[in-house]
Structure 1
Amino acid sequence: MEEKMAKPVFVALDVASKEELDNLLAQLGDPKETSIKIGMELFYHLGGEIVVDLAKKGYNIFLDLKMHDIPNTVYNGAKQIASLGIKYTTVHALGGSEMIYAAKTGLVAGTPIGQPVPKLLAVTELTSISDEILKNEQHCDLPMNEQVISLAKMAKKAGADGVICSPLEVKTLHEKVGDNFLYVTPGIRLQQNTDDDQSRIATPAQAKIWGSSAIVVGRPITQAEDPQAVYDMIKKEFN
């Protein structure tokens, strides 16, 4: 029961080939106790079949494709990926409420009978978007934190199950958007390697305290000498 209720720690599988994927997964342990994030690089290279195969093996899969198109196209895309056996997927909140609603509707329509509908997570503003870009290129009058809150509220109202956000934003989002929403946070680092190229980061323990629903971890696990040992340590620290 305790294992079932554990909050997911998704390993970002940012690899370019089937060989690299197999090597990494072999070092992560039991598929039924492993949550993985598949992004554009892997999906565009190996396609839906690899997702189906990994789902059948028991992996808890977050398919991170960040859908962003007209509502009808997103509906049809979501309907297709819902049949792959995934548990989570993403859209861009900037696509608007109608598109988010279409994505959720597509996921419901495409999910096989008896299977849970994948959770829909909305990406607010990418971590690469600076205050300057927000103001001068997106022509947004709101400061970054208010923009993220605004997009999260809109996504929730449109039917999303949660958002992708910085761990530093989670506490405020709980207060402003509510606790009955998922807050999935990348930018997780271990204490000893917080000096890399990402600035908006937190440790698993901090993410737990601030209220993250799930975390995404890449290089600290995938580049470790013993990926499974580090993965198990992070899962324990986060839960």
Structure 2
Amino acid sequence: MLEQEARERIIVALDCGREEALALAQALSGHARWLKVGMTLYYAEGPSIVRAFRDLGFKVFLDLKLHDIPHQVRGAARSAALAGADLLSVHGLGSGAMLAAAREGVEQAAAETGGERARLVAITVLTSMDEQALAEVGITCPIPEEAARLAGLARANGIDGIVCSPQEAAAMRQLLGEDALIVTPGVRPAGAALGDQSRVATPASAIASGASHLVIGRPITGADDPVAAYEAIVDELTA
């Protein structure tokens, strides 16, 4: 893999407060291409943090996992796209109608701005969940089967790809085809702490399994030298 392609594949998750996030973004400027804004940061700062990262030259994955009635999700997806999100997550469990409404929302935003449409990915099974956790909420089928079911629903309703663990990436690539976005959290360089993730893989193995993008947070943001940690992952992908 070429270096520039590797940088396009890595999404650095900034699940922290504004000052720390901006300091990390400034340090990673010129190295990283993508940043992830999750609920912790977005609920504290709102659309302004997305614009701040865009102004620094980053693409932004706004990981809000939208899950509500179709009307609300349509409006939320439009608002997120207008704030500058390049990629937006929705929950696959929200129904086909909700997923289709999310697509309508980002299309409306693109029509209003004349810019590119924000891309959408649907959450299948959270990487913190195992089959026991799924059973607690009434889902008793194996995780790969549940992930495939929700991926098919997403594809049928205009969603560009899915979020899944690296362990499901190969099956999802086969199911969804070469053009689908397959975003994998739960990526940990060799030797890194697992944190609260249950289903993990190294960056190189996740890409080899079919992932298009890797979401990596604490192994980079919690490192003594985040830039060096980021560059080590680039080196792993280009070796």
TM-score by shorter chain over 0.5: yes
Counterpart code for 1:75:
R
Determine the C-alpha separation between the residues in 1 that align with 2:5 and 2:170. Answer: 25
Partners of 2:14 and 2:194 lie apart in 1 by: 21
Q: Distance in 2 between matches of 1:22 and 1:56?
A: 11
Pairwise CA RMSD of aligned residues? 2.1
Q: CA deviation at 1:2?
A: 7.2
- Partner in structure 2 of residue 233 of structure 1: 232
Native 8 Å contact 1:37 1:63 kept in 2? yes
SS at match of 1:89: strand
User: Which one-letter code corresponds to 1:61 in the other structure?
Assistant: V
Cα distance per residue 1:49-95 (max 9 Å; x no partner): 12112212211100000000010110011111111121101000000
Does the alignment pair 1:14 with 2:15?
yes
State how many pairs are aligned: 236
Q: Are 1:29 and 2:29 matched, yes or no?
A: yes
| Post-superposition offset of 1:20 | 1.3
More moved, 108-117 vs 200-209: 108-117
Distance 2:5 2:83 in 1: 21
Letter in 1 for 2:161: G
Question: Do 2:128 and 2:198's aligned partners in 1 also have CA atoms closer than 8 Å?
Answer: no
C-alpha contact (below 8 Å) 1:7/1:213 kept by paired residues? no
Please show how residues 37-76 of structure 1 align to structure 2 within 5 Å: 37-76=36-75
Query: Distance in 1 between the 2:136 and 2:224 partners?
Result: 43
CA contact (8 A) 2:181 2:212 kept: yes
Q: Which stretch shifts more, 194-203 or 216-225?
A: 194-203
| Residues 210 and 163 of structure 1, relative CA distance in 2, 3 Å threshold | same
Structure 2 contact 185–216 (Cα < 8 Å) conserved: yes
> For 1:238 and 1:209, how far apart are their aligned partners in 2?
10
The 8 Å contact of residues 8 and 33 in structure 2, kept in 1 or not, is answered as no
User: Do 1:91 and 1:122's aligned partners in 2 also have CA atoms closer than 8 Å?
Assistant: yes
- The equivalent residue for 1:106 is 105
User: Aligned runs of 1:1-239 on 2, under 5 Å?
Assistant: 3=4, 7-16=8-17, 18-30=18-30, 33-111=32-110, 112-138=112-138, 140-194=139-193, 196-238=195-237
**Any idea what the Cα deviations from partners look like across 1:130-150, whole Å, max 9, x if unmatched?**
323433532x35322111101
Q: Where do 5+ consecutive residues of structure 1 fail to align? A: none
Is this contact kept in 2: 1:131–1:144, CA < 8 A?
yes
Query: Matches of 1:191 and 1:5 in 2, distance apart?
Result: 17
Call closer, same or farther: CA 1:169–1:46 in 2, change over 3 Å: same
TM-score w.r.t. the length of structure 1 is 0.91
Paired-residue identity, % = 38
2: CA distance between counterparts of 1:136 and 1:53?
39
Q: Which structure 2 residue ranges, 5 or more long, are not aligned?
A: none
What's the CA shift for 1:104? 0.8
Look up the equivalent residue of 2:197 and give its one-letter code.
Q
